[in-house]
Amino acid sequence: MNPSPAEQQLVIVSNRLPFIVGRDPAGRLEARPASGGLVTAMLPILRQKGGTWIGWTGLPEKDDASPAALAESVGWPGFAVVPVALSDEEVVGFYEGFSNEIIWPLFHDLPSFCEFAPSHWDYYLRVNRKFARAIADNAAPDSLVWVHDYHLINVGSELRQLGARLRTAFFLHIPFPSIDMFMKLPWRQSLLRSLLEYGLVGFQTLNDRRNYVQCLRRLLRGVSVSGKGQVLRVTVGDRHQAVGHFPIGIDFADFAHRAAAPEVRERAQALHNLLPDRRLLFGVDRLDYTKGILLRLRAYREALIRHPELRQRVTLIQVVVPSREHISTYFDLRTQIEQLVSRINGEFTEPGGWVPIHYVFRSLDPVDLLAYYRAAEVALVTPLKDGMNLVAKEYCTCSIEEDCVLVLSEFAGAAAQLRGGALMVNPYDIEGVADAIYRACCMPEQERRRRMRRMRREIMRRDLFWWVSSFFNAVNKEVPHELQTNQSDEHGAMADGENPVDAEPGDLHRRVG
């Protein structure tokens, strides 16, 4: 019988370690806990069962920080911390280059933002090799190695080349693209073969899983798929893999508890006192072109034009969290957002103090964010594409009175779970989003409560701990502890010169069985 993941040494591998390292005014190193669902989910398990977290500190390679000591300083004893040092050139080529100028835009269906520089691929291989060596040096033979996200896809192949025979799993937190989009990637075969090295690959949604399986069928030969439900079994040559969809959740109980705190309630009430007799619309997004902020602002403007009765009755609070401003694309995006906010406010502001948009460009402290969630009658979550988008789930969870409305992009991963309660929109449809804003502002109370109650039940049912448990259960059931020894180097890849796209439909059908 295979030991359960909780009984093995758990090795978490992610681009960053679970704390943010910096220096205080005196130049001393200091660390503070990182935020995010992965850290929230994994820390209790690692504290209780022990294990290892492998990642980059965020510091330059020449810095001699002791991650283990820093972990102790923020109160996280009980598990090992293994740093992977990156040079400035590797950060530029691997992180800013391949990860965020190729994979990020391509997997979000925005190929025009891609910079397919061959040097980026070289750095991606180099850094993934560093991570693989850190895993091989620190993982016991009976470890479960759980690798996370698009930065580290190629770790699978690198581990095989090192001869490390470990039980491995991978989870992709961003979307997986369709075959037409994935085909644009010059290194498509290499990344696909590397993904096949993991015993289990997990995706956020059924659609992401479907796209992955379709890419396997189109780009490799001898592919067969069996099973049904949350986890499928894929066979490529003599290689067997489990493939599942596991929508990540949030810590529902913790968010709901903190949202009910007196301090949060008081700050939410203060917002309404500052903006009396208004319905508050709220958007909070990291500065990124995938979030659809410009289109959302244009839709809000269209709503004020098409439905003038909204004027002086609604206010949009748009928070943008700074990100990657040193990259020209992001700097230009910030400029465009601020110009559009100014244009809309200049066009519609009226005497008496009404300003259509209150724009905030900074990170919010946790209490302020919860207060905005509680104060807002309508949340606008309209990304062009997102793996999941936890803002939608956080907003609903914090809406403890259940008297509010979520306007949600149909291209967010969360749409699969929340479409029964949210007002679903196509973010590219300016008039459609404008009408949805109007409908949200005018929705009867009974309908608002019914819709929100339905979404909160779903978020509570599939919370963060359900995500961890369902993934571990799939690993334990589908990934044998005794690893296969006869793995083909090519995993049934097409022969050189053979173009699967140009194959006849009948031939392709025969290849995939």
Q: What is the CATH number for 403?
A: 3.40.50.2000
* Statement to judge: residues 437 and 337 lie in one domain: yes
Q: Can you tell me the distance from the alpha carbon of 484 to that of 57, in angstroms, rounded to the nearest whole number?
A: 34
Domain termination site, one of 418, 441, 461: 461
What is the pLDDT, as a whole number, of residue 351? 80
Assign 372 to helix, strand or coil.
helix
Assign 495 to helix, strand or coil.
coil
What is the pLDDT, as a whole number, of residue 44? 78
Pairing of strands 200-203, 239-245: parallel
Domain membership of residue 27 (yes or no) is yes
What is the pLDDT, as a whole number, of residue 7? 54
Whether 196 and 241 have beta carbons less than 8 Å apart is answered as yes
Angle between helices 430-442 and 293-306 in degrees, nearest 10: 60
Domain termination site, one of 423, 439, 461: 461
What is the pLDDT, as a whole number, of residue 479? 87
Distance of CA 186 to the CA centre of its chain: 24
* Statement to judge: residues 397 and 503 lie in one domain: no
Domain membership of residue 222 (yes or no) is yes
Domain membership of residue 507 (yes or no) is yes
Backbone dihedral region for residue 109 (phi beyond 0: left; psi -120 to 50: alpha; all else: beta): left
Whether 300 and 434 have beta carbons less than 8 Å apart is answered as yes
What is the pLDDT, as a whole number, of residue 58? 84
* Statement to judge: residues 423 and 490 lie in one domain: no
Domain membership of residue 106 (yes or no) is no
Domain membership of residue 235 (yes or no) is yes
* Statement to judge: residues 79 and 49 lie in one domain: yes
* Statement to judge: residues 256 and 383 lie in one domain: yes
Instruction: Note down the domain range covering 277.
Output: 252-461
Type of residue numbered 190: S
**Within 25-151, where are the H helices?**
37-49, 67-73, 88-90, 104-107, 118-138
Instruction: Compute, in degrees rounded to 10, the torsion defined by CA atoms 109, 150, 40, 133.
Output: 180
What is the pLDDT, as a whole number, of residue 328? 87
* Statement to judge: residues 494 and 405 lie in one domain: no
Strand order in the sheet with 10-16: 80-83, 51-56, 10-16, 144-148, 167-171, 200-203, 239-245, 231-236, 223-226
Domain membership of residue 105 (yes or no) is no
Type of residue numbered 223: V
List, as one string, the DSSP characters of 1-44: -PPPGGGSPEEEEEEE-SEEEEE-TTS-EEEEE--SHHHHHHHH
What is the pLDDT, as a whole number, of residue 496? 35
* Statement to judge: residues 183 and 303 lie in one domain: no
* Statement to judge: residues 242 and 300 lie in one domain: no
Give me the tens of pLDDT residue by residue for the chain, a chain 513 residues long. 444 544 568 999 999 998 887 777 887 777 777 777 788 778 878 887 889 999 998 877 766 567 767 766 766 677 888 999 999 999 999 999 999 999 999 999 999 999 999 999 999 999 999 999 999 999 998 899 999 999 999 999 999 999 998 999 999 999 999 999 999 999 999 999 999 999 999 999 999 999 999 999 999 999 999 999 999 999 998 889 999 999 999 999 999 999 999 999 999 999 999 999 899 999 999 999 999 999 999 999 999 999 999 999 999 999 999 988 888 899 999 999 999 999 999 999 988 789 999 999 999 999 999 999 999 999 999 999 999 999 999 999 999 999 999 999 999 999 999 999 999 999 999 999 999 999 999 999 999 999 999 999 999 999 999 999 999 999 999 888 654 433 444 444 443 333 333 333 333 232 222
What is the pLDDT, as a whole number, of residue 512? 29
Backbone dihedral region for residue 143 (phi beyond 0: left; psi -120 to 50: alpha; all else: beta): beta
Whether 189 and 484 have beta carbons less than 8 Å apart is answered as no
Domain termination site, one of 423, 442, 461: 461
Q: Can you tell me the distance from the alpha carbon of 96 to that of 279, in angstroms, rounded to the nearest whole number?
A: 40
Pairing of strands 231-236, 223-226: antiparallel
Q: Can you tell me the distance from the alpha carbon of 404 to that of 282, in angstroms, rounded to the nearest whole number?
A: 11
* Statement to judge: residues 199 and 320 lie in one domain: no
Length of the chain equals: 513
Type of residue numbered 45: I
Assign 214 to helix, strand or coil.
helix
Domain membership of residue 113 (yes or no) is no
Q: Can you tell me the distance from the alpha carbon of 252 to that of 6, in angstroms, rounded to the nearest whole number?
A: 22
Q: Model-level pTM? A: 0.90
What is the pLDDT, as a whole number, of residue 49? 80
Domain membership of residue 102 (yes or no) is no
Whether 492 and 221 have beta carbons less than 8 Å apart is answered as yes
Show the tokens assigned to 278. 């208004």
What is the pLDDT, as a whole number, of residue 63? 66
Q: How many domains are contained in the chain? A: 2
Whether 375 and 268 have beta carbons less than 8 Å apart is answered as yes
* Statement to judge: residues 313 and 433 lie in one domain: yes
* Statement to judge: residues 260 and 403 lie in one domain: yes
Q: Can you tell me the distance from the alpha carbon of 184 to that of 486, in angstroms, rounded to the nearest whole number?
A: 31
What is the pLDDT, as a whole number, of residue 237? 87
Q: Tell the residue number behind the tokens 């700097």, with chain if given.
A: 331
Residues tagged active-site? 173, 386
Whether 364 and 372 have beta carbons less than 8 Å apart is answered as yes
* Statement to judge: residues 237 and 133 lie in one domain: yes
Torsion over CA: 15, 52, 469, 196 (sign): positive
